[in-house]
């Protein structure tokens, strides 16, 4: 049973790393990457809930929602530079004229 805990932890770590990649993409590709993360995250969430119980599953659901809404890179910018707002032109993968749709 301990081996499956390692597997679920590895899957979660891979998903968390993949959750940072959409910031490098522009416009529609970022949205498609977000949908792909959700589609990949649901089975992982189910597996972790099955292995660790409902408390771990709910905790992982909260972390996943936070990562999809506020990726660590973007959250770090907001926390380090409060009051400046979110200037989308400074996100990687986007042109200075604005997001590519």
Domain ranges of the chain: 2-81
Rg (CA), the chain: 16
Question: Distance between CA atoms of 49 and 22, rounded to whole angstroms?
Answer: 25
Q: Using CA atoms in the order 10, 58, 51, 68, what is the torsion angle rounded to 10 degrees?
A: -30
pLDDT reported for residue 96: 47
Q: What letter would DSSP give residue 101?
A: -
What is the structure's pLDDT at 25? Answer: 72
Q: At what angle do helices 54-69 and 27-52 cross, to 10 degrees?
A: 170
pLDDT in tens, 51-96: 889 999 999 999 888 888 776 666 677 777 776 655 555 555 444 4
Q: From CA 100, how far away is CA 95, in angstroms rounded?
A: 7
pTM above 0.75, yes or no: no
């Amino acid at each position: 049973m301990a081996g499956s805990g390692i597997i679920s932890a590895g899957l979660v770590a891979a998903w968390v790393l993949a959750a940072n990649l959409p910031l490098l993409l522009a416009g529609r590709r970022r949205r498609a990457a977000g949908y792909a993360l959700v589609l990949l995250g649901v089975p992982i969430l189910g597996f972790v809930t099955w292995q660790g119980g409902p408390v771990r599953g709910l905790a992982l659901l909260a972390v996943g929602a936070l990562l999809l809404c506020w990726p660590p890179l973007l959250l770090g910018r907001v926390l380090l530079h409060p009051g400046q707002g979110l200037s989308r032109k400074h996100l990687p993968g986007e042109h200075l004229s604005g997001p590519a749709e």
